[in-house]
Amino acid sequence: MKVSLFTTCLGDLFYVDVLKDVTEVLERLGCEVDVPEGQVCCGQPAYNSGYAKDTKGPAKNMIRAFEHSDYIVCPSGSCATMFHEYPNFFADEPEWQEKAKNIADKTYEFTQFIVRVLGVVDVGAEYHARATLHTSCHMTRLLGEREAHYTLLKHVKGLDLVPLPNNYDCCGFGGTFSVKMFPISEQMVDEKIRHIEETDAEVVVGADASCLMNIGGRMKRLGRPIKVLHIAQILNSHQTEGAERHADESRKSTIL
């Protein structure tokens, strides 16, 4: 199965190690991965800030980059959702709208693709820790994927997954909200961290690097010892008890 990786700008900038894990997991599951050269940022920061007109250029670029892909897989529910929004941008350009629909129809978030398309629930990972899952808002509410990330984590050997209180509350990221409204955003992430701490988890896992950058960035500032991991980092782990999680030791073992 041919899969084109939509790397996301946060992935390209900050989380190259996560992208490596994503690639390796997909390959292990039998996918032939490619990374379309022409891809840029999906345009969400501008779109959500009201600059819809400035979003069309990046959107067209992305459509061009992915139009010949069989499947588009993205390690972020939020960015994948943006591809699903694309058809709405081109109400006055029917040709582009058609292309946008074609892109939207074959776009999946990483865990969603594994469970819904590949039909795999156990990727053969092993990770020994008490962990809790942050379910991102765009992934659950906008993309409508509420199960896949849980399903995959439940099958990870050694992982003790504990529920996160108020998991439905936003972590406070919200794209440009986190800088435009930072005093509110900080209160929100602090409450999220209090709930994470209530679980006594050693690791907080998420499927969206943006939320994790927010939670991890705040925890680092506060000096909290809890690890923050993208779900791909767990799914690409083969750690037997007591050993290092990964063959490639230079790879980052946490988001921050």
Partner 1 sequence: MPMKVGNRPFFEGVDKAIHDSFMVNAVSSAQDGLRGRKLSATIGDKALGDWEEWRSAGEEIRAHTLNNLDYYLKQLSDNFAARGGHVFFAETAEEARDYVKKVCKEKNAKHVVKAKSMVTEEISLNEALEEEGCEVLETDLAEFILQVDHDQPSHIVVPSVHKNRQQIRDAFKKLGYEGSDDPKELAGFARKTLRSKFLNADVGITGCNFAVADTGSICLVTNEGNANMVTSFPETQITVMGMERLVPTWKELDVVVSLLCRSSVGQRLTTYVTDITPKADQDAVDSPKDYHLVIVDAGRSNALGTDFQSALHCIRCAACINVCPVYRHIGGHAYGSIYPGPIGAVLSPILGGYEEYGKLPYASSLCAACSEACPVKIPLHKLLIRHREKYVEGGGHPPVMERAAMKGFSIGASSPMIFRAGTKMAPIILKPLVHDGSIPKGPGPMKPWTHGRDLPAPSKENFRDWFKKHKQQSATIQAKGTGESL
Nearer to partner 1, 52 or 120 (CB): 52
Pick one of 15, 66, 83, 89: the residue that binds partner 1 (CB under 8 A): 15
Q: How far is CA 6 from CA 12, 59, 115, 140, 247, in A?
A: 10, 13, 18, 19, 25
Q: Is 162 in the site for partner 1 (CB under 8 A)?
A: no
Candidates 119, 179, 241, 242: give the one binding partner 1 (CB under 8 A): 179
Strand partners, 115: none
| Binding region for partner 1 (CB under 8 A) out of 41-49, 91-99, 102-110, 121-129 | 41-49
Asked if 93 touches partner 1 (CB under 8 A), the answer is: no
Which residue of 29, 45, 151, 197 would you call a contact of partner 1, by CB under 8 A? 45
Q: Are 76 and 209 in contact (CB under 8 A)?
A: yes
Residue 101: φ, ψ to 5°: -65, -40
- Quote the CA–CA distance of 141 and 38 in Å, as a whole number: 29
H helix runs in the chain, sequence order: 9-13, 16-28, 44-48, 56-66, 77-89, 94-105, 110-112, 137, 148-154, 177-180, 182-198, 209-222, 231-235
Query: Which listed range, 69-77, 111-119, 146-154, 162-170, lies at the site for partner 1 (CB under 8 A)?
Result: 162-170
Only one residue has tokens 């794209």, namely 175
Would residue 178 be called left, alpha or beta, if left means φ above 0 and alpha means ψ between -120 and 50 degrees? alpha
Q: By CB under 8 A, what part of segment 112-141 binds partner 1?
A: 137-138, 141
Is 26 an interacting residue with respect to partner 1 (CB under 8 A)?
no
Least Å from the CB of residue 159 to partner 1? 21
Examine residue 77 and tell whether it contacts partner 1 (CB under 8 A).
no
* Choices 96-104, 107-115, 165-173, 197-205; region in contact with partner 1 by CB under 8 A: 165-173
Cα 193 from Cα 170, distance rounded (Å): 11
Q: Give the residue carrying structure tokens 């923050």.
A: 228
> Segment near partner 1 (CB under 8 A), from 101-109, 122-130, 154-162, 174-182?
174-182
- Binding-site string for partner 1 from residue 184 to residue 223, where x marks contact by CB under 8 A and - marks none: xxxxxx-x---------------------xx-xxx-xx--
